[in-house]
Structure 1
Amino acid sequence: MARYFFHLQTGRRFCRDEEGVEISTLDDLLLHAADLARRLIAETSRAGATTRSAFAVEDGERRLILHLSFASLDNPDLAGHSLDSRRTGNPGLPTLH
């Protein structure tokens, strides 16, 4: 298992995740990021502002691994998207780096 850090970017604000979480696969990484994003959207009364947010996910070496725009959660292709099998160039889906 590897440790990943889910930094939250909202507009000009950037909140660093200093703890991280251990995750075994890239697909699990995407599922975890999407779940966190959905929970943040549900917990805020300003959901419009939150959907303009994103996670910048780094690995233990502090290399950018994934960029997940909260707006991409509305994309129906996300459910069938696999990070383990391919990198995406589709602008509506998460970007694997």
Structure 2
Amino acid sequence: MEDFEVKFKAKIWIYEGPTPWYMITVPLNVSTIIKKRFGHLHRGWGSIPVIVGIGESSWKTSIFWEKKGTYLLPIKKQIRVKEKITNGDIVEISLLIQNVGL
């Protein structure tokens, strides 16, 4: 299976739980492709390991499947501070799923 890389723009929003999380919803069309190609590889919580890029930052994390049919991408504080992004901002994301280790 080949690596999968995609770029898209999305809005940052806050998941209001006991501990707020800053999230990006992976667009439906991209989520559909990921689910079809990599859904059988889901780990705990429906997660798939990814490498994400925003601005000058790149890091390893996971995307998480949700019942609405899309994946959620958490954006950690270190990245938000470095890239000067916050709730409501629209950002360009590079998302890579590598075949290695899957």
Calculate the TM-score normalised by the size of structure 2: 0.34
* Structure 1 or 2: more helix by fraction: 1
Calculate the TM-score normalised by the size of structure 1: 0.35
* Structure 1 or 2: more strand by fraction: 2
Structure with the bigger RCO (C-alpha within 8 Å, sep 6+) is 2
